[in-house]
A and B are shown apart, each in its own frame.
Chain A
Amino acid sequence: MLENKHDQETNTLTFVFSGHLDSARSAPLAPLVESEIKKHTGQAPSVDKPFEVVFDLKEVDFISSAFIRICIMTAAVVKSGNLILKNACPFIKKTIKISGLESQLKIL
């Protein structure tokens, strides 16, 4: 349901989510995401690039409010605009638009 990797060259931490991210499935992901981000924000960057977090939603077909909370929490930690949601299906893109989160993150 969650994989992650850090690309040192671009200073980007990518989380690849999958499945139906309802409340029950999203809730346990929050501490995992938080601790991974902490690991990287606690370190001096290896390159002169702002730290970015990417949530890859290619395999996700539903997001719950618990997942939105993960987005908000992450957006608060990384600098403005450095949380990127990519590969969201149109339905999830619309959900993000309606949720009014676009000012806190980028959705590609």
Chain B
Amino acid sequence: MDKTLQYNGTESIITKEQIQAKQILAKATIAAGIFNQYDQERTDRIAEAVARAGFNNRVQLAKMAREETKLGVCEHKVLKNVLATQLVFENIKNEKTVGILSHDEKSGITEIAQPLGPIFAIIPVTNPTSTVMFKILIALKSRNPIIISPPRKAMRCTIEAARLCYQAALEADAPEDCIQWLPESSREWTNAMMSQPGIALILATGGASMVRAAYSSGTPAIGVGPGNVPIFIDKSADLPFAISNIILSKTFDNGTVCASEQAIIVEQSFAPQVRAEFEKQNCYFLNAEEIRKVEMIAVDKNSGVMNSAIVGQPVEAIAELAGINPPAGTKIMIADQKGVGREYPLSGEILAPILAFYTCADLDEALKTCIDLNYFAGIGHTAGIYANNEDVIENFGNLMNAGRVLVNTPSSQGAVGGVFNTLLTSFTLGCGAGGKNITTENISAKHLVNIKRVCRYRANERWNRFQQAKYQDEKLSWDDILQEFNKNY
């Protein structure tokens, strides 16, 4: 560690991470300067080259990720890599991100794109290669250099994905150092990088404490924390379709997507049919003793945080850890729950094929349970409904505080967008003010561009012809003034 003299005369300690972070940032800042000169065509060539490189290595990177993290399912990781390259590129390829974006003669406003500057991207262990390729792609499309923080348990695959993208970007004439990565994964490194004043934006995807640290750093951040996705199955739902969708989604990569279903909520009168359909489609309702055992291994009771040992694991591995024996071929384990909160460990986010199940007296109680789940641990993220009754869908949409309210859609794939709906394909899902985000949108290249507005003189005709001395007359009311202001208009 080095010591440095502060302006106030005190000495402070500068860590090796801070020194190196400064050097990394200096390189990224130069890259930002050079990038700023690129036109749209040159920028698009780079984005396409990166998308192609990521896509062409989708299988190899998926294998590496599975092998290194021991999470999820290799084939599903391939699909995630496809979403992050092919579908993301499809979204952004025709988007204007350089120079004049629009000009409106009538309003006199010209919109001009301006890159943000160096972006610091934190990558989650659950989706390492797909998220890193996604973040690189949207950063370069918007002419921003990017610095990657790989997760400790997915260092090799994340760096390999970044390296392949960087190589392709350089071959397409991108600025040197437009993609960099931290040499180690540690809190010290992340904090050192986040607190660099030259970082323009942090794209933070991961655990709650890391997202909180990003927000606390003083650097603008788009952070995506936990989701706790309630799925309401209404009596009007197409039940076999609903259950097969839920299984498709909750088993996708063994439930590692933060938008995956966490709880199923049904009315009492409909519950027997729902349970029967789940069982018919090879899901298993745990008994009270099994629920207790799963609770013990799924969540740390003191902290309320899910146990990383079960994240992205298949049913068999979780059952073995818990010491239970669900029927062979079980796709999802389901636990009846009586309440929501810390005292009900399975009512929060669990990124594994485990679902909470709530049976409620009536529609109102079901909706209130959805609100409780939504506000307990997933505010602003995602909620879902299976229904064919428009009134119920509208009511549910109004009640949930979620950036995405998915209707008759598998929530993992639905929230990420591009497969079952027309949401922007994204691995960073805005969670609005509830999730401490500025937006509820799926984050894409357009969010990494500052838009300048060049405003031409356009006089407000009514303002100019109105005798403004009248504003000084206290006796004139709103109605009096507006009548005069809008006269003959």
Q: Which residues in A have some Cβ–Cβ distance to B below 8 Å?
A: 88-91, 93-94, 97
A91 to B364, CA, bound (A): 9
Please give the distance in Å from B344's CB to the nearest CB on chain A.
15
A89 to B371, CA, bound (A): 11
A97 and B399 contact, CB distance less than 8 A: no
Known: A94-B371, A94-B399, A97-B375. 12 other contacts (CB 8 A): A88-B368, A89-B364, A90-B364, A90-B367, A90-B368, A90-B371, A90-B395, A91-B399, A93-B368, A93-B371, A94-B401, A97-B371
Give the chain B neighbours of A90 by CB distance below 8 A.
364, 367-368, 371, 395, 399
Is the contact region of chain A dominated by helix, strand, or loop, or is it mixed?
helix
A90 to B375, CA, bound (A): 13
* 6 pairs, CB–CB < 8 Å, chain A vs chain B: A90-B364, A90-B368, A91-B398, A91-B399, A94-B401, A97-B371
The 8 closest A-B pairs by CB, nearest first: A90-B367, A93-B368, A97-B375, A90-B368, A90-B399, A94-B371, A93-B371, A94-B399
Give the chain A neighbours of B367 by CB distance below 8 A.
90
A108 to B371, CA, bound (A): 12
**B440-473 interface mask toward A, CB cutoff 8 Å, 1 = contact, 0 = none?**
0000000000000000000000000000000000
Please give the distance in Å from B364's CB to the nearest CB on chain A.
6
Give the chain A neighbours of B398 by CB distance below 8 A.
91
Give the chain A neighbours of B395 by CB distance below 8 A.
90
Q: Which residue of A lies closest to B370 (CB)?
A: A90
A89 to B368, CA, bound (A): 8
Interface residues on B, range: under 10
Q: Which residue of B lies closest to A107 (CB)?
A: B368
Please give the distance in Å from A79's CB to the nearest CB on chain B.
20
A97 to B399, CA, bound (A): 11
Q: Which residues in B have some Cβ–Cβ distance to A below 8 Å?
A: 364, 367-368, 371, 375, 395, 398-399, 401
Give the chain A neighbours of B371 by CB distance below 8 A.
90, 93-94, 97
Please give the distance in Å from B446's CB to the nearest CB on chain A.
29
A94 to B371, CA, bound (A): 7
A25 to B98, CA, bound (A): 57
Please give the distance in Å from A81's CB to the nearest CB on chain B.
13
A94 to B375, CA, bound (A): 9
A88 to B399, CA, bound (A): 13
A90 to B398, CA, bound (A): 10
Q: Which residue of A lies closest to B395 (CB)?
A: A90
Please give the distance in Å from A108's CB to the nearest CB on chain B.
9
Q: Which residue of B lies closest to A93 (CB)?
A: B368
Give the chain B neighbours of A97 by CB distance below 8 A.
371, 375
A97 to B376, CA, bound (A): 10
A88 to B395, CA, bound (A): 15
Q: Which residue of B lies closest to A108 (CB)?
A: B368
Give the chain B neighbours of A93 by CB distance below 8 A.
368, 371
Q: Which residue of A lies closest to B363 (CB)?
A: A90
Please give the distance in Å from B368's CB to the nearest CB on chain A.
5
A88 to B372, CA, bound (A): 13
Give the chain B neighbours of A91 by CB distance below 8 A.
398-399
Q: Which residue of A lies closest to B434 (CB)?
A: A98
Give the chain B neighbours of A94 by CB distance below 8 A.
371, 399, 401
Please give the distance in Å from A16's CB to the nearest CB on chain B.
17
Please give the distance in Å from A91's CB to the nearest CB on chain B.
7
Q: Which residue of B lies closest to A96 (CB)?
A: B371
A88 to B365, CA, bound (A): 9
Give the chain A neighbours of B375 by CB distance below 8 A.
97
Give the chain A neighbours of B364 by CB distance below 8 A.
89-90
Give the chain A neighbours of B401 by CB distance below 8 A.
94
A1 to B364, CA, bound (A): 22
Please give the distance in Å from A107's CB to the nearest CB on chain B.
9
Please give the distance in Å from B311's CB to the nearest CB on chain A.
28
Which of A90, A91, A93 gathers the greatest number of chain B CB atoms within 10 Å? A90
Please give the distance in Å from A42's CB to the nearest CB on chain B.
34
A46 to B118, CA, bound (A): 69
Please give the distance in Å from A10's CB to the nearest CB on chain B.
21
Please give the distance in Å from A85's CB to the nearest CB on chain B.
11
A89 to B367, CA, bound (A): 9
Give the chain A neighbours of B399 by CB distance below 8 A.
90-91, 94
A90 to B395, CA, bound (A): 9
A91 to B399, CA, bound (A): 7
Please give the distance in Å from B9's CB to the nearest CB on chain A.
44
A91 to B375, CA, bound (A): 14
A97 to B401, CA, bound (A): 11
Please give the distance in Å from B484's CB to the nearest CB on chain A.
33
A88 to B364, CA, bound (A): 9
A93 to B398, CA, bound (A): 13
Q: Which residue of B lies closest to A89 (CB)?
A: B364
Please give the distance in Å from A87's CB to the nearest CB on chain B.
9
A88 to B371, CA, bound (A): 12
A98 to B459, CA, bound (A): 42
Q: Which residue of B lies closest to A87 (CB)?
A: B364
Q: Which residue of B lies closest to A102 (CB)?
A: B375
A31 to B399, CA, bound (A): 32
A93 to B399, CA, bound (A): 9
Please give the distance in Å from B266's CB to the nearest CB on chain A.
15
A94 to B367, CA, bound (A): 10
Q: Which residue of B lies closest to A88 (CB)?
A: B368
A79 to B99, CA, bound (A): 62
Give the chain B neighbours of A88 by CB distance below 8 A.
368
Q: Which residue of A lies closest to B400 (CB)?
A: A94
